Amino acid sequence: MVKKEFVKNAIAVCAVSLVMSTVGILFRAYASNRAGSEVMGLLQLVLSVYYPACTLASSGVYVASTRLCSETLARKDRSIESVLNRCLMYGAFFGIGAFLLLFFSAELIATRWLSFPEAEIPLKILSFGLPFLSAANALQGFFLSLRSAGYSTVLQVTEDLSKIGATILLFALYLDEGPQAALCAMVAGMAIGETLSCLFGYLLYLRKKNMGIHSAKSANRGLFAEIVKIALPCAFSGYLRSGIGMVESILVPRGLEASGLTPEQTLAAMGKFEGMALPILIFPASFLAVVSKLLVPEITAENALGHSESNIKTTQSILKYTLSYGVFIGTFALLFGRELGMSIYHDSTCGTYLIYLAPLVPILYADRVIDGVMKGYNRQLTTMKINLADALFQTAGAWLFIPKTGIIGYVSLFCVGSFFNFALSFLSLRKTCGIRFPLREGVLRPILASLGAILPLKLLHTLFPLSVWVWAGASVPLYLIFHRLCSDSTKKTRLITRNFERSNPNTPKQKILSRR
């Protein structure tokens, strides 16, 4: 593995991703403050239908493009241009099909499934971006396989900025016309972002096209069958998970209403939880999603060359650091959740959700990385089974428990389902490559370091109520210092124990060693 190139790409892409995620969370706060929590809740309902349509449009083309382009560059046995062209053809078929399906079924979905006729026009607007989304996924996989971070990053920045700029412009023009106009402005911005990202990505591809590897036409035979073989397991996994997830998204508001909430309270609760609180916790993990994507071509190429030990070491290290980072973020959210909710959204309920979700953060972050690693090991079918089991579990819970328990059951179901998914994913990864769970390095030591760094800041905050962002900035260097101290103390403890055992041959361990 070309580790220097991987680290260079990871740092560059992560830095840009973190900046864009910061812009994104600020934009989400702006949108929620302008449109209101009810509109954000209705947006979540619309997205619960749109995301399955996105899954149908892409149908695993991103994974297929990444893996096949990476293998082509590693083995140099066929034309990478042919690989991408066939991936684009595959994506076009599903992208256009998804557009037609969503556009002509929008009225039925809005009135019969969601029971919100206002969702029809937003669904139709979103459908126009689906063919472009599919093509953009194929191009993203191609650029990622080149191990050149710049192109993939530029595409993502183009999409995000286009989406934000278009939405702000449409807000300025139509926000005064009511909640429906605000919702249409937000989804139109998403469709415009997907379209511009695809067009710009194709221009970048034409510029990069001359670096393709050309070979005999015979080497490209059976290429479409390979794409289908890789993409369809991912696609079926997405179909099942998205379809069951859509059913869950329909059952959740009905269950909340059955528990005693009004439709307006239901939309507000969903908007605050899924549209406001959860994105705050996911925001610091934005670069982990990038690392997960970068791992796919790296692990794929190493597997193609037979370098399994390198993959195991890389996977073990990234899992350890991901858990450690998640523990730090979760501890800060646990102690400063209400302050974060008030600072970003001016809403204490959002802060309460942050506190409830804080212990779940390391699991959410690690699960993202594990998914990328499993794709690199060509374990799409295993991931499909896990996602299906998780989706069935959450759907059954939404049907059985939410009508009886309301908001508490809604939040608890998300937490239990996330842990269930992580446990299955890690066990599958352990079976695949034999890694161990880094309990001491990834969980226990970071907990001590996080409490040592953040708890004194919380006490200081009660005396000096400064902005939460001041304490967030101060917590980072303190955490690094405490983490280093915990590491050094562990090493010293091991050294003292080892010296003691050597100087005292009568200890039980030394007796066992002497018998051997």
pTM of the model: 0.68
- pLDDT category, 2, cuts 50, 70, 90? very low
Mean pLDDT is lowest, of 79-83, 145-149, 182-186, for 145-149
pLDDT of residue 126: 93
pLDDT over 80 (residue 201): yes
pLDDT at residue 212 in the model? 47
Q: Which pLDDT band, with edges at 50, 70 and 90, does 13 fall under?
A: low
Note the pLDDT of residue 119.
86
DSSP state of 438: -
Contacts 24+ apart (CB under 8 A), 1-9: 1/298, 1/301, 1/302, 1/307, 1/310, 1/311, 1/314, 2/147, 5/147, 6/147, 6/294, 6/298, 8/149, 9/147, 9/148, 9/149, 9/294
Chain centroid to Cα 298, Å, comes to: 19
H or E segment to which residue 464 belongs: none
Neighbours of 157 (CB within 10 A): 17
Mean pLDDT of the chain: 80
Distance CA 37, CA 46 (A): 14
- Between these two residues, 297 and 383, which has the higher pLDDT value? 383
pLDDT confidence bin for 515, thresholds 50/70/90:
very low
Confidence label for 373 from pLDDT (cuts 50, 70 and 90): confident
Integer angstrom CA distances of residue 60 from 122, 201, 381, 454:
25, 18, 12, 41
Task: Report yes or no: 97 and 173 within 8 Å, Cβ to Cβ.
Answer: no
- CA angle at residue 54 from 130 to 103, to 5 degrees? 55
Q: For residue 260, name the pLDDT band (cuts at 50, 70, 90).
A: confident
**b/e per residue 390-408 (b: at least 16 CB within 10 A):** bbebbbebbeebbbebbbe
* pLDDT in the model for residue 513: 41
User: Mind listing the pLDDT tens digit for each residue in 58-114?
Assistant: 888 888 888 888 778 777 767 777 888 888 998 899 999 999 999 999 999 888 888
> What pLDDT shows up at residue 175?
72
The pLDDT value recorded for residue 296 is 66
Cα 59 to chain centroid, rounded: 17
Rounded to whole angstroms, the Cα distance separating 180 from 281 reads 28
> 347 or 361: which carries more pLDDT confidence?
361
Length of the chain: 516
Exposure b/e, 127-138, CB count within 10 A at least 16 = b: bbbbbbbbbbbb
Q: What is the pLDDT of residues 224-240, one digit of tens each?
A: 788 888 888 778 767 77
Integer Rg of the chain from CA: 24
In the predicted structure, residue 151 carries a pLDDT above the cut 60: yes
Any idea what the Cα angle at residue 314 is, between residues 308 and 319, rounded to 5°?
125
Label residue 512 by pLDDT band (50, 70, 90).
very low
pLDDT confidence bin for 330, thresholds 50/70/90:
very high
Q: At 459, is the pLDDT very low, low, confident or very high (cuts 50, 70, 90)?
A: very high
Give the model's pLDDT for residue 3: 56
In this structure, what token pair is assigned to residue 439?
Answer: 């309990």
Q: Is the pLDDT of residue 469 over 80?
A: yes
Q: Which pLDDT band, with edges at 50, 70 and 90, does 307 fall under?
A: low
What per-residue confidence (pLDDT) applies to 93? 92
Higher pLDDT, 446 or 28: 446
pLDDT above 50 (res 218): no
As a dihedral over the C-alpha atoms of residue 67, residue 72, residue 74, residue 77, rounded to 10 degrees, the angle is 150
Task: State mean pLDDT over 385-399.
Answer: 84
Is the pLDDT at 483 greater than 70, yes or no?
Answer: yes
Percent of the chain clearing pLDDT 90 (strictly above): 17
Residue 377 burial (C-beta neighbours within 10 Å; 0-12, 13-18, 19+) = buried
Using 50, 70 and 90 to split pLDDT, how confident is the model at 400? confident
In the chain, what is the straight-line distance between the N-terminal and C-terminal CA atoms, in Å?
Answer: 39
Report how far residue 508's alpha carbon sits from residue 60's, in angstroms, rounded to the nearest whole number.
56
User: Taking the mean position of all CA atoms in its chain, how far away is CA 344?
Assistant: 21
Per-residue model confidence (pLDDT) at position 514: 46
Three-state SS annotation for 66-82: HHHHHHHHHHCCCCHHH
Contact 141, 202 (CB under 8 A): no
Q: Cβ distance 269 to 410 under 8 Å?
A: yes
Report helix, strand or coil for 221. coil
In Å, what is the CA distance from 2 to each residue of 77, 310, 494?
20, 11, 33
Instruction: Specify the pLDDT at position 293.
Output: 66
Question: What is the mean predicted confidence (pLDDT) over 361-386?
Answer: 81
